[in-house]
């Protein structure tokens, strides 16, 4: 007889949540879910990433050079691109932009804009065209308003007459140099958006957002992850830099090897959450950076004040100082914010000094200030109370002797593991304080050599990894009296440039290649059968190879839910299972849904390049037998849900 670690309190006031962390890694923001098509649209740069005309190509011999410093478009955007008559003698000159490894061109409306400085009488031509042939799929003439004395914005709409056969396309702007004085013009903030998710201005890419929304997520944690922390203490992700008109956003020195635009900013994240009905967990910067920089105690107060301002910006009324700033940006209604995390993985940032400071005063200073003003906010610390992966570690922080959080706080646990290890952690939270599982994924194959972080991550989420991960998800969910939710990380990957191959969704510029990984199917299955409370379970067999948990969902008229995973890596037999819910009578219907791997190979994955998809979904309606029991069997390496709400 075994009982779950969970109980019936439903403490967090919402159903148990499945969600994801988003930060800009793998071009998951710029060149990813942020729908902007132009790469290097505003020639933004930072210490790590110098300014350049990268991703632009001259048309008709034009010369493209950076103009940095003289009469900039704005303080935030000091550099621009000077387009001048170079080798060309006749005709229009200009430039094309290759986008983020291409552009999907369809017969829908694109919305564009660009800023120009320099006297010009005539028209600009904006076109979407093939990079391989002479095909121009659509173009529009934009009458010049450009003058020598100031920057002027030009806007346009462009609807191609035909779909491009592939995404190897560019966006071009040309002009007649004869209409200029001196044959040159300065360009900046060149922007082009396709239709966006829920038609938001400056919004999200539809196919990627829909793939996420279809998973039925509950949580969005942002802005990182490492992105929150920054490479150095003076380059953390300052939320204030991401507000307002694009010309006032300086861009961010990304921590994953590329410059970011700040286009996907605080408001865009909040609107994303609003549009998908997601609870948010925001990470506030704790004064520690990835390189080990530590903001000392005596300098911390301004950052604590800044975190309070950030919270007020999100959830304060329009009458408050920062709520008014949000209202001025078009959202007078406060957003819902119930979870605030202090920093990210601070046992790594600035270890040992930064971590010691986090334990000694840093966390508690932020915690106390936030709780004093917002007692109802759930404050989250950026580490777990312990991490089995660190047991016996001699060179890293030994979290066994780790942080003690105040009674009202919860921790954050980030298991990136081999599937066997995730299975071993099934009962990890049965006797611990509350946590979010702020990042989790099966990342390395069982028995990987060299082990874990000394070696490569696997190339895509793979089937046995997904099943092992599903076991751990059940382990977290059955402790939902203390764990409000689980977050996949990182969530998105552009196949053309990535730092972390294992993600829920893979994509290229071509929307037809957007691929839900095998793990997406497991998370989606669990997320589509939410529970508001766990139920105690008893069984006449022990856990393994079947792992399970049960719950009830008050929001669905008390639907009863059993979630299970069969993690039998050597025995290929199906496992007979009988589930009986207390009080369920003979004749009651339930729906069994289970996921299996159609090709048998436990290392198989969904491949965005070939289109091969390996997850089979089986759905059956079951009827409870004489003793109110549902009887079924589950195949080797399968993930299942039994739900008395029958679709």
Kindly tell me which residue out of 118, 224, 251, 263 binds ligand AHR, with binding defined by CB under 6 A: 224
387 part of the interface to ligand AHR, by CB under 6 A: no
Q: Which is nearer to ligand AHR, 231 or 592 (CB)?
A: 231
Q: Which is nearer to ligand AHR, 93 or 227 (CB)?
A: 227
For residues 175-213, b (16+ Cβ closer than 10 Å) or e, as one string? bbbebbeebbbbbbbbbbbbebbeebebbbbbbbbebbb
Q: Which is nearer to ligand AHR, 25 or 470 (CB)?
A: 25
225 part of the interface to ligand AHR, by CB under 6 A: yes
Kindly tell me which residue out of 350, 485, 490, 635 binds ligand AHR, with binding defined by CB under 6 A: 490
Concatenate the DSSP letters of all residues of 240-259 into one string. GGG-SSGGG---EE-SSSSE
Count of residues touching ligand AHR (by CB under 6 A) = 12
343 part of the interface to ligand AHR, by CB under 6 A: no
226 part of the interface to ligand AHR, by CB under 6 A: yes
Q: Which is nearer to ligand AHR, 128 or 227 (CB)?
A: 227
Q: Which is nearer to ligand AHR, 137 or 488 (CB)?
A: 488
Q: Which is nearer to ligand AHR, 98 or 439 (CB)?
A: 439
Binding mask 394-423 for ligand AHR (x = CB under 6 A): --------------------x---------
Instruction: Report the 3 state secondary structure along 317-338.
Output: CCCCHHHHHHHHCCCCCCCCCC
Q: Give the range of 223-231, 318-326, 368-376, 395-403 binding ligand AHR by CB under 6 A.
A: 223-231
Scan residues 421-440 and list those touching ligand AHR (CB under 6 A).
439
Q: Which is nearer to ligand AHR, 341 or 643 (CB)?
A: 341
Cα dist. 63→43, 86, 134, 151, 535 in Å? 16, 5, 22, 20, 69
23 part of the interface to ligand AHR, by CB under 6 A: yes
Bridge partners of 153, per DSSP, are: 115
Q: Give the range of 42-50, 220-228, 318-326, 556-564 binding ligand AHR by CB under 6 A.
A: 220-228
CA distance 29 to 493: 9
Q: Which is nearer to ligand AHR, 33 or 246 (CB)?
A: 33
Scan residues 199-218 and list those touching ligand AHR (CB under 6 A).
none
From the CB of 131, what's the least distance to ligand AHR, in Å? Answer: 32
Instruction: Write out the two tokens for 420.
Output: 């066997």
346 part of the interface to ligand AHR, by CB under 6 A: no
User: Rounded to 10 degrees, what is the CA torsion of 249, 251, 252, 257?
Assistant: 160
CA distance 580 to 585: 9
Q: Which is nearer to ligand AHR, 144 or 443 (CB)?
A: 443
Minimal CA–CA distance to 517: which of 499, 497, 530, 501?
501
Whose structure tokens read 């919270």?
311
From the CB of 303, what's the least distance to ligand AHR, in Å? Answer: 19
Bridge partners of 113, per DSSP, are: 155, 191
The CA-based angle 296-225-227, given to 5 degrees, is: 75
Q: Which is nearer to ligand AHR, 102 or 415 (CB)?
A: 415
Binding mask 442-481 for ligand AHR (x = CB under 6 A): ----------------------------------------
Cα dist. 187→121, 125, 163, 175, 225 in Å? 15, 14, 28, 12, 34
Q: Which is nearer to ligand AHR, 114 or 347 (CB)?
A: 347
Kindly tell me which residue out of 351, 500, 543, 603 binds ligand AHR, with binding defined by CB under 6 A: 500
Q: Which is nearer to ligand AHR, 224 or 484 (CB)?
A: 224
Main-chain dihedrals φ then ψ at residue 319, nearest 5 degrees: -85, -15
From the CB of 498, what's the least distance to ligand AHR, in Å? Answer: 11
Question: Chain centroid to CA 63: how far?
Answer: 38
344 part of the interface to ligand AHR, by CB under 6 A: yes
80 part of the interface to ligand AHR, by CB under 6 A: no
What is the helix (H) or strand (E) element at residue 438, kind and residue range? strand 435-442
How does DSSP classify residue 563? E
Nearest residue to ligand AHR on Cβ basis: 225
CA distance 614 to 515: 12
Bridge partners of 188, per DSSP, are: 115
Handedness of CA 12, 13, 15, 21 (dihedral sign): negative
489 part of the interface to ligand AHR, by CB under 6 A: yes
For residues 567-583, b (16+ Cβ closer than 10 Å) or e, as one string? bbbeeeeebebebebee
Residue numbers of the site for ligand AHR (CB under 6 A)?
Answer: 23, 25, 224-226, 344-345, 414, 439, 489-490, 500
């Amino acid at each position: 007889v075994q009982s779950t670690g969970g109980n019936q309190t439903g403490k967090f006031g919402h159903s148990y949540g499945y969600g994801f962390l988003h930060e800009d890694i793998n071009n998951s923001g710029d060149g990813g879910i942020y729908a902007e098509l132009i790469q290097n649209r505003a020639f933004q740069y930072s210490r790590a990433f110098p300014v350049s005309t990268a991703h632009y190509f001259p048309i008709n011999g034009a010369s493209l050079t950076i103009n940095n410093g003289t009469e900039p478009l704005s303080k935030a955007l000091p550099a621009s691109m000077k387009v001048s008559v170079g080798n060309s003698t006749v005709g229009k000159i200009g430039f094309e932009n290759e986008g983020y490894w291409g552009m999907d061109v369809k017969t829908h409306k694109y919305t564009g804009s660009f800023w120009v400085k320099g006297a010009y009488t005539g028209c600009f031509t904006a076109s979407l065209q093939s990079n391989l042939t002479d095909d121009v799929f659509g173009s529009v003439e934009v009458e010049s308003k450009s003058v020598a004395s100031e920057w002027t914005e030009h806007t346009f709409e462009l609807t191609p007459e035909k779909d491009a056969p592939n995404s190897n396309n560019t966006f071009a702007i040309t002009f007649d140099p004869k209409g200029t004085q001196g044959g040159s013009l300065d360009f900046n903030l060149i922007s082009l958006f396709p239709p966006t998710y829920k038609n938001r201005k400056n919004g999200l890419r539809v196919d990627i957002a829909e793939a996420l929304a279809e998973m039925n997520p509950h949580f969005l944690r942002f802005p990182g992850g490492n992105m929150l922390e920054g490479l150095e203490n003076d380059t953390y992700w300052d939320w204030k830099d991401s507000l307002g008109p694009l010309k006032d956003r300086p861009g961010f020195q990304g921590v994953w090897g590329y410059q970011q635009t700040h286009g996907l900013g605080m408001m865009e994240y909040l609107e994303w959450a609003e549009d998908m009905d997601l609870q948010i967990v925001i990470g506030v910067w704790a004064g520690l950076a990835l390189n080990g920089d530590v903001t000392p105690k005596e300098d911390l107060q301004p950052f604590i004040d800044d975190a309070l301002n950030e919270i007020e910006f999100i959830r304060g009324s329009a009458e408050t100082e920062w709520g008014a700033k949000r209202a001025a940006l078009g959202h007078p209604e406060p957003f819902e914010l119930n979870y605030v995390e202090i920093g990210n993985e601070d046992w790594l940032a600035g270890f040992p000094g930064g971590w010691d400071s986090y334990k000694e005063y840093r966390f508690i200073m932020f915690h106390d200030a936030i709780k004093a003003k917002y007692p109802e906010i759930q404050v989250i610390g950026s580490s777990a109370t312990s991490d089995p992966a660190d047991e016996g570690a001699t060179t890293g922080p030994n979290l066994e002797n780790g942080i003690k959080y105040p009674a009202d706080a919860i921790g954050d646990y980030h298991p990136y593991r081999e599937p066997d290890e995730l299975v071993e952690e099934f009962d990890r939270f049965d006797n611990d304080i509350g946590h979010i599982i702020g990042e989790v994924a099966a990342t390395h194959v069982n028995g990987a050599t060299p082990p874990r972080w000394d070696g490569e991550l696997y190339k895509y989420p793979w089937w046995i990894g997904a099943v092992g991960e599903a076991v751990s998800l059940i382990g977290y969910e059955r402790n939902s009296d203390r764990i409000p939710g689980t977050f996949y990380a990182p969530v998105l990957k552009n196949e053309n440039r990535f730092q972390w191959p294992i993600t829920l969704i893979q994509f290229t510029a071509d929307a037809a290649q957007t691929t839900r990984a095998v793990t997406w199917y497991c998370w989606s299955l669990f997320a589509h059968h939410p529970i508001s409370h766990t139920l105690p379970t008893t069984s006449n067999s022990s856990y393994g190879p079947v792992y399970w948990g049960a719950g009830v969902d008050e929001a669905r008229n008390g639907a009863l839910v059993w979630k299970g995973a069969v993690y039998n890596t050597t025995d290929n037999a199906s496992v007979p299972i009988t589930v009986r819910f207390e009080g369920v009578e003979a004749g009651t219907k339930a729906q069994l849904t289970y996921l299996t791997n159609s090709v048998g190979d436990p290392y198989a994955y969904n491949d965005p390049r070939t289109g091969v998809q390996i997850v089979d979904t089986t759905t059956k309606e079951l009827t409870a037998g004489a003793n109110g029991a549902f009887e079924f069997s589950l195949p080797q390496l399968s993930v299942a849900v039994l739900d008395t709400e029958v679709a």
